[in-house]
Every structure is written in C-alpha cells, then in structure tokens.
Amino acid sequence: MRILLLSHYYAPETGPPQLRWSALVRDLVAAGHEVHVVAPAPHYPTGRLLSGEDPAQVGHAHPGQHGETVHRVRFRPSTGSARSLLLDQIVSAADTVRTAWRRRRELRPEVVVATVPGLPTALAGRAVATLLRAPLVLEMRDAWPDILGGAASGDCGPGRAAVRAVLVRAVWAGVTWLQRSADLVVTTTDSFAATLRRRRVARVVTVRNAHHGLADPPPSTLTPRPGGPLRVVYVGTVGRAQGLETAVRAAQLARQGGVDVRLRVVGTGARLAPVRSLARELQAPVEFVGPVTRDQVTQHYDWCDTFLVCLRDWPGLASTVPSKLYEALALGLHVSASATGETAAIIRETGAGFATAPGDAQALARAWGALAETGPQQDIARMSSWVDGHASESGAAEVLLAALADLADSGHERVGV
C-alpha cells in the first residue's frame, strides 16, 4: 500500500504528534508499506528552523529515519502567538498541495492521511486527496470543532465578540464538513469517536495515543521521602487548554494550609508568561524549568511524587486525553489531575491517582494535602496492564493498519481494481 501522510509536525522535531507518527510510520514501513510524508522543514517549538537543519531542504525530498520518504515544504517563521501559528500552518498547507500535485506521479497514493493539529492541514488533505483521486483519512488528535467553544472564549468588547462568534460558527461548519467528507476519521479517544458518529460521520476508528519509551526511564516506584515536601511535576504544553493557573492557585492554597508542596512546570507555550506572572503575584511555590529534550525529562519524573494532568472545563476537552497521561501510567507515576471526562475515567479505572473538577483550585489543594499525609499509593500493576492493553505502540499500529487496509480494499473495489 502506498500511503501519503500530510503533517505540520514531524521528526526530528520532538513532541506528542511527532512521537506518535514516528512510531506509526516505523511500523507501517516495517509491515512492507511505502510511506511518503509531506511536512515543513523542522521548526517546532521555536518557530524558526531548528539548529543544524539545512535551509536548502525546503522543496526537496530525503530519506526518513524509518525508510519513509520525507518531502519538505515551506513554513512561515512564527512567534508562538495564535495568529502567527495559523499563518505558518496556512503557508505550509498551501505548499503541501502544490508539492503533492507536482510530485503526483512519484507519490501515486492509495490513501492520503492528513493529521490535525494544524487545521489548514485538514483542508490540504481534502484538496490533495481530491486531486490525486485517493481516499482521505482525517486524523483529529483533538476534539475539533468542539474545542472551539473554549478556545474562542475570552474577555472582549461586544463588537469583537460578535465577529468571534461568526468565525467560530464558520470554522465549526467547515471542520464538520471536512469530517463528514473524509472516507475515514481517526480519533484518539472513544468518547470523541462516539460524538462524531452521532454527527453522521460515517466511518470512525479510535487509534489511541501510545506510550513511547524513554531511553533511560526512572524507577517504576517512587523513592519514599519521609517528612519531605510533596513534589508535583507538570510536563507538557503551557497553553490555554491546560489552564495551569488552577494548579498555581492550588499550590498556594495548599501552602497556606500548611502543606509543604513544590510545583515544577516543565515546558513552554502561549500561556507561559501569564502563568509565571500569576505565580509571582501569589508568591506560589512554583518553579519553571522551560522546555527540555526527551532524554532530559527522566530527571523530572524521578524528582516528583506525583505527575500533574491539567485541563480546563471546555467543551471538547472532556473527550481529550493528554498523551503524557499514558507515559505517566506506563512509568508507574502517581497522577494528580484537574480534569473530567475520559481523562478522569482512565485515572480512576487504572488506580493511578485522583481527579478533581477542572478549574477547582481548592479541591486540588485539598487532594494534595491528603496526598502529602498518605503518600502516593497508585496501583502500578493495574496501570501497566491498562497501558499494555490500550496504549501500546504496536497496538496503535495494528488498529491503524487494519483501518487503512480496509479503506484501500474498498477503494479498489469501487474502481474495479
């Protein structure tokens, strides 16, 4: 099978989308399939071409790590703001369509896969699949368009609010049309798959995010620290959807209640500056490490007593499960969550820790106070078993391969191949 993957994020960049597709492409190639990837030159998370990368690669193809062929397209340098990120994605999506058309005789895909984040990539996928007469697989890593309600919220004047409401309705309609027009939609959670089926999206399959192993994983059990502080670590994006302000407030409330708690934030994002500012204002016990490489994250996992998962109470986020949760489960880390929906259900099902209502800083502070008294008591065996059954790299690849093969076979039948 000849598979064409369109993505705004790809190796050697590091991040959840890059790790997911690197593992999936590895297994697709190992199974004997020909994979071509169209992606911009590596520029995540800085928004600039990564150090050591050749600017001349744009417009050219090169072998990937796993035997795939990677076609590099243009990008627009970004600053991290929503506007600059969207413009970057639009530039790359437009060049993706141009590149796929120019190289159509080389690509000849039997299936086109377009993966979101990067909503313009979904549009590019629709265009490329139509131009090259191949079925379209649309992967929705987040609960679009449901997440729009929260992402578009914020204080603004009546005029801007009216314009924003019109834009939200337009994007909602457009994304829903793209999902219904796709030959297959891939989600990462069962709950969002069910939502799409209720919206008359004909073919939906869940391919969960997987745990991706660390080169030097921390011990599977936490070292007891009698009488020491409660060490909480957050590793990941510091964005609007995460709402880390809740955790900052909870850390300060717990400290005021006599709990010796330390919160460490590892990562960056659009909300890093406001979250830092809030921590300074409250004099909360929070330290900010900034982004780290994949091989450096182990030391932070080893440091912590509990791993924080934080999501806002937005429409759509109840159907979202952060990929870092699977990593915490596989490593046996105790999990503290400020989240609801499928994320909270998994934490309770696996015995990994606790989940408080999103946005409730007092509830999170109380839970940390109780944890400081009892110490972590997660069910490591149950967590590991759940990951093996639901979030392994091989399992994700098997589900995706079966869905793609079925789609390709049905396409052959339609054209009489």
pLDDT tens, residue order, the chain (417 aa): 999 999 999 999 988 899 999 999 999 999 999 999 999 999 988 899 999 999 999 999 999 999 999 999 999 999 878 889 999 999 999 999 999 999 999 999 999 999 998 899 999 999 999 999 999 999 998 888 888 766 555 555 566 767 778 888 898 999 999 999 999 999 999 999 999 999 999 899 999 998 888 866 776 545 555 568 999 999 999 988 999 999 999 999 999 999 999 999 999 888 999 999 999 999 999 999 988 888 899 999 999 999 999 999 988 899 999 999 999 999 999 999 999 999 999 999 999 999 999 999 999 999 999 999 999 999 999 999 999 999 999 999 999 999 999 887 775 444 333
- Determine how many CB atoms are found less than 10 A away from the CB of residue 394: 11
CA distance 9 to 319: 22
* Four-CA torsion 117, 123, 124, 125, nearest 10 degrees: 80
CB 41 within 8 A of CB 48: no
254 and 117 both lie in a single domain = no
195 and 276 fall within a common domain: no
- The CATH number linked to 78 is 3.40.50.2000
| Residue 217 belongs to a domain | no
Do 266 and 307 lie in one domain? The reply is yes
In a domain, 221, yes or no: no
Which residue type sits at 122?
A: A
Rounded to whole angstroms, the Cα distance separating 357 from 312 reads 9
Tell me: do 240 and 114 sit in the same domain: no
pLDDT in the model for residue 117: 85
Does 25 reside within a domain?
yes
Residue 129 lies in a domain: yes
198 with 307, same domain?
no
Name the strands in the sheet holding 261-266, side by side, starting at the edge strand that comes first in the sequence. Answer: 286-288, 261-266, 230-235, 306-310, 335-338, 353-356
| CB-CB neighbours of 267 under 10 Å | 21
Give the pair of three-digit tokens for residue 349: 């099902």
Q: Is residue 224 part of a domain?
A: no
Handedness of CA 24, 27, 32, 35 (dihedral sign): positive
Task: Indicate if 140 and 246 belong to the same structural domain.
Answer: no
Give me Rg for the CA atoms of the chain.
22
251 and 301 assigned to the same domain: yes
Asked if residues 38 and 71 have their Cβ atoms less than 8 Å apart, the reply is yes
DSSP single-letter state for residue 39: E
Determine the Cα–Cα distance for residues 400 and 363; give it in Å rounded to an integer.
Answer: 39
Same domain, 406 and 331: no
Residue 259 belongs to a domain: yes
Of 108, 303, 118, which is closest to residue 222 (Cα–Cα)? 303
pTM over 0.75? The answer is yes
What gap in Å lies between CA 309 and CA 288, rounded to an integer?
16
- In sequence order, the 6+-apart residues with CB closer than 8 A to the CB of 416 are none
**What is the number of structural domains in the chain?**
2
Return d(Cα 59, Cα 302) in angstroms, integer. 42
In this structure, the answer to whether residues 384 and 403 fall within a common structural domain is no
In a domain, 350, yes or no: yes
Note whether 359 and 246 are within 8 A (CB): yes
Domain that holds residue 302: 230-389
Let me know if residue 366 belongs to a domain.
yes
pLDDT of residue 225: 58
Count how many residues are written for the chain.
417
Do 106 and 254 sit in the same domain of this protein?
no
Whether residues 251 and 367 fall in one domain:
yes
Q: How far apart are CA 93 and CA 119, in angstroms?
A: 9
Q: What is the pLDDT of residue 364?
A: 98
> Are 255 and 382 part of one and the same domain?
yes
Terminal alpha carbon distance of the chain = 13
